[in-house]
Amino acid sequence: MKIAYFLIVVFLTTVISAQEINVNGKLKDATGLELPGVNVIVKNTSNGAVTDFNGNYTLNNVSIGSTLVFSYIGFTTQEIKVGQNSEINVTMQEDSQSLEQVIVIGYGSQTKKEITGAVSVVGSETIEELNPVRVEQALQGQVAGVNITTQSSSPGSGSTISIRGISTNGDSRPLILVDGNVIEDLSVLNPNDIESINVLKDATAGIYGVRAANGVILITTKSGFKNTDLKFELDSYAGFQETTRRLPVLNATEYGVIINEAFAAGGSTPPFPNFTTLGEGTDWQDEIFRTAAISNINFNLSGGGEKSTYAGGLSYLSQDGIVGGSDANFDRFTGRLNYSLDFAKNFKFTTSGIFTQTNRKTLLENTLGSVLFNALNMAPTLSVRDENGDFTLAEGLGNEVINPVAQIENTFNKTQVNRIGATFGLRYDFLNNFTAESKFQFNYSEVDGKVFSPEVFYGSGKVFNVDRSNVTEFKNFFRDFTWDNFLKYEKIFADDHDVKVLLGMSVFKTTGTFTSFTGFDIIDNSYSNANISQASDVVNNFQNGGNEFDSRLLSYFTRLQYGYKGKYLFSAVLRRDGSTKFGPKNKFGYFPSASVGWVMSDESFLNDSSWLNFLKIRGSYGVIGNDRIGDFGFVSLLNGEGAYVINDELLFGTAIGQLSNPEIKWEQQKTLDIGFDTRFWDNKIDITFDYFKKRTEDLLVVAPVSGILGVAAPGSAPPIINAGIVENKGYEFLISYNDRFSENFKLNASFNLTTIDNEVIAVNSDNSFIAGGSFGVGQDPPSRMEAGKPIGYFFGLQTDGIFQNQAEVDAHATQANAAPGDLRYVDVNGDGEINSDDRTDIGNPIPDVTMGLNIGFEYKNIDFTTYAFASLGNDIIRNYERNQPLVNRRTGFLDRWTGEGSTNEFPRVTTGANSNNLFSSFYVEDGSYLRIQNVQLGYTFSDQYMKPIGIDKFRVYASVNNLYTFTEYQGYDPAASSGAPIGGGIDQGFYPVPRTYLLGVNLKF
């Protein structure tokens, strides 16, 4: 029996030994670059290897059926079962959730594990999947606490970025740095050039001092890797865009019915006695909306030698508008270069440069008389052209409503921007622990524009009529530079004490010069002759000065970072900023901040947890400044325009400009953040939670002063004062799930949520409020900044249904011209009379909650992603309807009040005097929405077909951007907003976000 047992053991051992093979292969990243230093090990053994400089590895005596584990910092660990094939090549996928991922934090970097502040990261993979035209679009729904409001969705238009709410009624833009270089306009940046976007949301942004009060966005562009071959990458897509919505307005027959009823109710003769013959009429929205083309091609290269790295790229984007087509086009050309060289021992030189040229044609939008505004209000009974082939005149529709097709035809507004930005850096490492670094960054931009207004007649009394053709040409120059110098000390003492010290200074200067001339009487009334050189009566639009600005900052900063055993973390920052925007007494400000972290999962009582992989608690507090106001507000300047009578002749000259205030000082923001980061179940689930509170004091606001001080004169303005406190507080929550179920299937999902409670604590002005925005014609501003309310809340009359009969009118407080069928307003103050004193809080443009949901999976060669964003609780003012007797109306007027009991929501129609057009809650709608931002399906061709022809990756995809928006808002787009802190959320015919269908290709070789 023992002999039989021995023979069986020997047989099995022989069989198993016969099943051992030698395994070799190559490791690359998703871009095709070889990865040196990847750990490869046979699971549950000590048999392992490390890839060489070319990404190659070899493992001997590997049993068939065993599992190889591939791990590398910053990449997802992969496990592959060994089969009969001895060659196993692996493409490593970057792990944006890795605790060892290096995060740029300002003048340095930390691993995700070490960070003690609220920092969010968006990687290049997400940007590539979204295919955004502008960088801001890649942040919406991806980063908790970041909200993007689109000022317009026309090609080339900008967006407003808000980080953790609106903290000021002035300029609330965050500081944006691209490779350390200040960027104000993100339209000049190609999203395909971006490697990562890091968003600093709390006091850790204090390292940037005065410019960091609204948060900091750090963008890093793609670079090469040392010891890698030259690699090429081609990304291209093409497709078309369409509007997601046409507003339901009356056709010609319905229009005739409503207009006749309104005239009859007003005691006038109905203008359409035979309304049944009017038919459908002209659909003016069909006349202006287009199916618009969009295309983009992006070519990149990268590589590196033993001591150098390089990367570069060229791209071209062209986008037509869904309103006006090629008459509203935007195109962008960019060229980029990054280079680094270790030119001597301990010396490193780095440089980067970006050149951008953009060309943009624009139409009037988002205002009274815009193209969309006119398309909604133009009478459907009018044709585009009359029987003579001329554009139809919009007679009887008010002074602002004109034929929108004629408006497009006669609009010539072109702008070209040429911009170059570059950085140069030199780093020297010495004495083992010290690093000295100097970086110089500059930007130079030229903006050339031409606006031609041909002689045109749109109808009697139209404000857009041009009696004398004219052209305005402008050329603006912008220059800025930043020079940073800093010294770093980094050392680990006794294996447990990690100390990092930073000491530095920074100089920033920005200047601008504006030139503009207007000439008249253009030859042949033609755009081809629209040049100042061929015009008459040329006027210098800056003849009295005011065409320059010059602003400077001088800063000193220091930061101490300390870690004990990698689990007790501390960081402290102090920055001293001096700004030319403040007078001698308040020129300099000090801005301290500190943060702490505790990695609890490294403690002995949690170290052996079977389900918890990581848990860190962190907190931060600091004071950050803001100086985003005009230059030299503390002194009086002679840059205004004065009118003088000398010898009975009217002459124009120089006068005092903006009223000065020598006492203005820094706007200060005190920010608190408490949060935690945790992972569990083999790092499959990742949760981040933050509570934040931001209190902005000494708000820099424009003082409401009497007109007798001359502030309404050309070139003059009220003074800037410190007068107000705003507070934002809320919660951020992020949960993500990542899992590879098999070699062929991988799933990832994430959900983020942000709540914001915005409140104005104080407004130190004579009126105790500051008004803003506009509604209708000649009415008071509808938005206010007032203590106890959200900034920019809506202030108007509160409706209480419809008067159903005369008895209700008689029983109600006195309301001017009220009759059955009219809106009934609430007598808020109870004085028995409806007037402006009854206005109250009727809406808030700031959302209570924003959410983002991202889902993706990979199955074999197929990949799928979808992104969604939701905004809940924000209100919008509907202000795209002109109150004139003959303008068109929404189909909601078909449900108007027609008699007692017919409706209690929509008032009667009449040309008679009434107060239904006063700003009230009738014009405020819920702007909540859920938007499917992107859906993409891709297919990557197998390596076995691509490698023989020298291609590392070939992927094709189809995607739809802005697939569908779920909302009850009746306008074009619930994301409508001017971006203004006071006056935002007012829709005057908002240019909608287009739905975009794309086919694209990713090629790497």
Q: What would the pLDDT profile of 948-987 be if each residue is shown by its tens digit?
A: 888 888 999 999 999 999 999 999 999 877 778 898 899 9
Q: What would the pLDDT profile of 476-525 be if each residue is shown by its tens digit?
A: 999 999 999 999 999 999 889 999 999 999 999 999 999 999 999 999 99
Q: What would the pLDDT profile of 404-415 be if each residue is shown by its tens digit?
A: 999 999 999 999
* 8 A C-beta contact, residue 823 and residue 802: yes
Q: What is the pLDDT of residue 800?
A: 95
* 8 A C-beta contact, residue 829 and residue 837: yes
* 8 A C-beta contact, residue 764 and residue 697: no
Per-residue confidence band for 30, with pLDDT thresholds at 50, 70 and 90: low
What the block records as the tokens of 835 is 């007037």
Residue that has been written with the tokens 């020598």 in this structure: 662
Q: What is the pLDDT of residue 886?
A: 93
Q: What would the pLDDT profile of 182-235 be if each residue is shown by its tens digit?
A: 888 888 888 888 888 888 988 888 888 777 888 888 888 888 888 888 999 999
Answer whether residue 75 shows pLDDT above 80.
no
What the block records as the tokens of 898 is 């027609």
User: Span 111-125, mean pLDDT?
Assistant: 84
Which of 58-62, 706-710, 810-814 has the lowest average pLDDT?
Answer: 706-710
What the block records as the tokens of 468 is 């004398």
- Residue with the bigger pLDDT between 1005 and 658: it is 1005
User: Span 351-371, mean pLDDT?
Assistant: 92
- Residue with the bigger pLDDT between 130 and 143: it is 143
**What is the distance between the alpha carbons of residues 205 and 624, in angstroms, rounded to a whole number?**
8
Answer whether residue 990 shows pLDDT above 70.
yes
Q: How many CA atoms lie within 13 A of 803 on its CB side?
A: 25
**What is the distance between the alpha carbons of residues 533 and 543, in angstroms, rounded to a whole number?**
18
Q: What would the pLDDT profile of 684-713 be if each residue is shown by its tens digit?
A: 999 999 999 999 999 888 877 766 666 666
* 8 A C-beta contact, residue 637 and residue 696: no
Q: Is 426 exposed, middle or buried (0-12, 13-18, 19+ CB in 10 A)?
A: middle
Closest CA to 569 of 115, 58, 66, 37: 115
| Residues 6 or more apart whose Cβ sits within 8 Å of residue 179 | 219, 220, 221, 338, 352, 423, 441
**Domains of the chain: which residue ranges?**
2-91, 102-224, 270-766+846-874+927-1004, 767-845+875-920
* 8 A C-beta contact, residue 59 and residue 17: no
Range 2-91 has CATH code 3.30.70.980? no
| Residues 6 or more apart whose Cβ sits within 8 Å of residue 1005 | 32, 231, 232, 950, 951, 952
Coil, strand or helix at 631: coil
* 8 A C-beta contact, residue 897 and residue 906: yes
Answer whether residue 64 shows pLDDT above 70.
yes
**What is the distance between the alpha carbons of residues 832 and 902, in angstroms, rounded to a whole number?**
27
* 8 A C-beta contact, residue 193 and residue 336: yes
- The share of the chain scoring above pLDDT 70, in percent, equals 96
DSSP-H helix ranges across 412-473:
none
Give the global pTM. 0.86
What the block records as the tokens of 477 is 């120059």
Q: What is the pLDDT of residue 11?
A: 40
What the block records as the tokens of 629 is 């106001």
User: Span 299-312, mean pLDDT?
Assistant: 91
Q: What is the pLDDT of residue 181?
A: 86
Q: What is the pLDDT of residue 223?
A: 87
Per-residue confidence band for 862, with pLDDT thresholds at 50, 70 and 90: very high
Residue that has been written with the tokens 């604590």 in this structure: 761
Closest CA to 403 of 388, 422, 421, 390: 390
Residue that has been written with the tokens 């087509």 in this structure: 325
* 8 A C-beta contact, residue 261 and residue 885: no
Q: What is the pLDDT of residue 7?
A: 41
The radius of gyration computed from the CA coordinates of the chain, to the nearest angstrom, equals: 32
| Residues 6 or more apart whose Cβ sits within 8 Å of residue 778 | none
Q: What are phi and psi of 708, to 5 degrees?
A: -70, -10
Q: What is the pLDDT of residue 577?
A: 92
What is the dotted CATH code of the domain comprising 102-224? 2.170.130.10
Answer whether residue 893 shows pLDDT above 50.
yes
**What is the distance between the alpha carbons of residues 222 and 227, in angstroms, rounded to a whole number?**
16
Q: What is the pLDDT of residue 743?
A: 82
Q: What would the pLDDT profile of 376-401 be if each residue is shown by its tens digit?
A: 999 999 999 999 999 999 998 988 89
| Residues 6 or more apart whose Cβ sits within 8 Å of residue 47 | 41, 59, 60, 61, 62
* 8 A C-beta contact, residue 640 and residue 714: yes
- Residue with the bigger pLDDT between 659 and 372: it is 372
Answer whether residue 833 shows pLDDT above 80.
yes
Sheet holding 39-42, edge to edge: 48-50, 39-42, 67-71, 78-81
**What is the distance between the alpha carbons of residues 692 and 670, in angstroms, rounded to a whole number?**
11
Q: What is the pLDDT of residue 508?
A: 94
* 8 A C-beta contact, residue 814 and residue 857: no
Q: What is the pLDDT of residue 17?
A: 43
Range 270-766+846-874+927-1004 has CATH code 2.40.170.20? yes
Q: What are phi and psi of 314, to 5 degrees?
A: -130, 145
User: Span 71-91, mean pLDDT?
Assistant: 80
| Amino acid letter, residue 309 | T
**What is the distance between the alpha carbons of residues 841 and 752, in angstroms, rounded to a whole number?**
30
Q: What are phi and psi of 369, to 5 degrees?
A: 90, 10
| Residues 6 or more apart whose Cβ sits within 8 Å of residue 12 | none
Coil, strand or helix at 790: coil
Q: What would the pLDDT profile of 326-345 be if each residue is shown by its tens digit?
A: 999 999 999 999 999 998 88
Per-residue confidence band for 741, with pLDDT thresholds at 50, 70 and 90: confident
Q: What is the pLDDT of residue 8?
A: 44
Q: What is the pLDDT of residue 100?
A: 64
- The share of the chain scoring above pLDDT 90, in percent, equals 56
Per-residue confidence band for 683, with pLDDT thresholds at 50, 70 and 90: confident
Q: Name the DSSP letter for residue 902.
A: S
Q: What would the pLDDT profile of 538-588 be if each residue is shown by its tens digit?
A: 988 887 777 888 999 999 999 999 999 989 999 999 999 999 988 888 899
Sheet holding 181-182, edge to edge: 119-123, 194-200, 216-221, 175-178, 181-182
Beta strands in 664-807 (DSSP E): 667-680, 685-697, 700-702, 720-722, 725-740, 745-762, 769-772, 783-786, 793-796, 799-802
Q: What would the pLDDT profile of 932-953 be if each residue is shown by its tens digit?
A: 999 999 999 988 888 888 888 8
Q: What is the pLDDT of residue 97?
A: 58
**What is the distance between the alpha carbons of residues 693 and 671, in angstroms, rounded to a whole number?**
6
Hey, how many other C-beta atoms are within 10 angstroms of the C-beta on 949? 8
Q: What angle do CA 850, 852, 854 make, to 5 degrees?
A: 175
Answer whether residue 4 shows pLDDT above 60.
no
Q: What is the pLDDT of residue 2?
A: 47
**What is the distance between the alpha carbons of residues 792 and 166, in angstroms, rounded to a whole number?**
10
Same fold, 2-91 and 270-766+846-874+927-1004: no
* 8 A C-beta contact, residue 199 and residue 119: yes
Q: What is the pLDDT of residue 521?
A: 93
Answer whether residue 74 shows pLDDT above 80.
no
**What is the distance between the alpha carbons of residues 555 and 576, in angstroms, rounded to a whole number?**
5
**What is the distance between the alpha carbons of residues 925 and 160, in angstroms, rounded to a whole number?**
22
Closest CA to 323 of 991, 964, 972: 991
Answer whether residue 155 shows pLDDT above 80.
yes
Closest CA to 164 of 181, 143, 183: 143
User: Mean pLDDT for the chain?
Assistant: 88
What the block records as the tokens of 516 is 């503009």
Per-residue confidence band for 758, with pLDDT thresholds at 50, 70 and 90: very high
Residue that has been written with the tokens 């999976």 in this structure: 857
